[in-house]
Amino acid sequence: MNRIVIVGAGLAGLRTATELRERGYDGEVVVIGDEPHPPYDRPPLSSELLTRAEPLWLADDLGTALADVADRVITGRAARLEPGAESVVIMDDGARLEASAVVLAMGSAPVRRWPEPLTLHTLEDAALLRAALAAPARLAIIGAGWIGSEVAGQAAAAGHEVTVFEAGPAPLADHIGVRAGDYTRAWHEAAEVDLRTDTPVHAVDPAGGTGAGLRAIVRTGDGDIEADAVLAATGVRPNTDWLAGSGIPVTERGFVPVTVDGRVSPRDATVEATGADTPRVWAVGDVALRDHPRHGPLAGGHWFSALRDPAGVAAGILGPERAEPAPNLLAPEVFSDQFGHHLERIGDLAGPGGTEVLRGDPGAGWTLLQIRENRLVGAIVADSPRDTSAVRKAFQRAGEDYPRIDLDLATDPAVQLRKALT
């Protein structure tokens, strides 16, 4: 058996197939996808919702089409996995695919707490939301995370009335911390978005009875709002429910724990699998909780993970005799374009016992340095590409450690940040 089955036809799946071919794999590659479209880039669905009507196809963006690197592309859903030295993926129609290695790259799905609101994850979702905003409308958004903030900026710029409900104390607080999130409040205010933090939504009910289209009522402890459309942007969960009963470990949040090169670790398995029977299963992208020598367990779910991690997965599958190991040791990174600003998070948040140090002006370009024990553990960077580059390069130089930082130099606006990092 010389067949690799990749479950998932998004960015992580395409990149894994590409990396396998670039490392000389000449066996069969089968990719399973549950959407009837070629792979496309998801960030533009929210950050360019109303300014880009056509998808950004990954074949155009990356220069590689899935059909160029996969022998077969199957549209459907995987329903069951039987892992082993030779694994079997069983489709929802009962078809069985034997594999010498399986790569789990299924991505994630939006969390749906209520049936009425729209969600935004697929081309079809984007088309529905775009149609709802074809004429002046009142849009309610539940959640001020990455997607909620990006859509709020797009809708406000197009002249729509936008209200955002956020249960936490600041926009993006779960992702970049409360202080950095507070800095982005001014972006909402400048766009005339009605941002309501510390306001959990209790219910969403249809408005006007039947025939009311997408209109719905958002109910909170501070009152109700009726909107022409409601978007629920309250997070996603990895598509791993179908792995139940397979013996593949899955955390409470739905992630598959893997080693630095993306392999499901035998020591974590709930079934005995040793020697020749060790499951040859890897996970990458949204579904993976990858062990990192510097940052510890890293959850996928961001574009950079799906882009970078497949190189290590391909090298791990092929082994040192076929490919040099190439695990992704870069700092984790996520970016967002919202309200005319570019925001990036690189590395970790300072956390308890750490400090946050501001570089720049919150009213212009700024960087919020995340510091522990005189080392840079991460940074939140807004509209400062030079600082972004300096932080990335510092992590690359530091290897498996965190870079040291001279805070006197780092906080001097006349000094380039790279000169403060060693």
pLDDT tens-digit map of 149-170: 999 999 999 999 999 999 999 9
Closest CA to 165 of 120, 232, 71: 232
Average pLDDT over residues 202-217: 80
Contact predicate 256/249, CB 8 Å: yes
Q: Indicate left, alpha or beta for 49 from its phi (over 0: left) and psi (-120 to 50: alpha).
A: alpha
pLDDT tens-digit map of 329-360: 889 999 999 999 999 999 999 999 999 999 99
Average pLDDT over residues 238-261: 95
Tell me what percent of the chain is helix, strand and coil, each rounded to the nearest 5. 25, 30, 45
What is the structure's pLDDT at 278?
Answer: 66
What is the structure's pLDDT at 208?
Answer: 72
In DSSP terms, 341 is beta-bridged to 338
Angle, to 10 degrees, between the axis of helix 11-22 and the axis of helix 310-318? 40
pLDDT tens-digit map of 398-408: 989 999 999 99
- Across the chain, mean pLDDT equals 93
- DSSP 3-state assignment of 128? helix
pLDDT tens-digit map of 241-252: 999 999 999 999
Assess whether pLDDT exceeds 50 at residue 268: no
Please tell me which residue, 294 or 323, carries the higher pLDDT value.
Answer: 294
pLDDT tens-digit map of 73-101: 999 999 999 998 899 999 999 999 999 99
Poorest-confidence range of 83-87, 105-109, 143-147, 231-235? 83-87
Q: 274: pLDDT confidence band, cut at 50, 70 and 90?
A: very low
Q: By percentage, how much of the chain surpasses pLDDT 90?
A: 87
pLDDT tens-digit map of 107-142: 999 999 999 999 999 999 999 999 999 999 999 999
What is the structure's pLDDT at 328?
Answer: 78
What is the structure's pLDDT at 96?
Answer: 96
Distance CA 9, CA 271 (A): 28
**DSSP characters over 219-238:** EETTEEEEESEEEE---EEE
Poorest-confidence range of 13-17, 127-131, 326-330? 326-330
* Domains, the chain, ordered by start: 3-109+236-318 (3.50.50.60), 123-232 (3.50.50.60), 348-420 (3.30.390.30)
Assess whether pLDDT exceeds 80 at residue 175: yes
**DSSP characters over 203-222:** EEEESSSTT-TT-EEEEETT
In DSSP terms, 336 is beta-bridged to 343
**DSSP characters over 11-48:** HHHHHHHHHHHHTT--SEEEEEESSSS--B-SHHHHHT
What is the structure's pLDDT at 90?
Answer: 96
In DSSP terms, 206 is beta-bridged to 216
Within the chain, how many helices (H) and strands (E) appear?
A: 13, 25
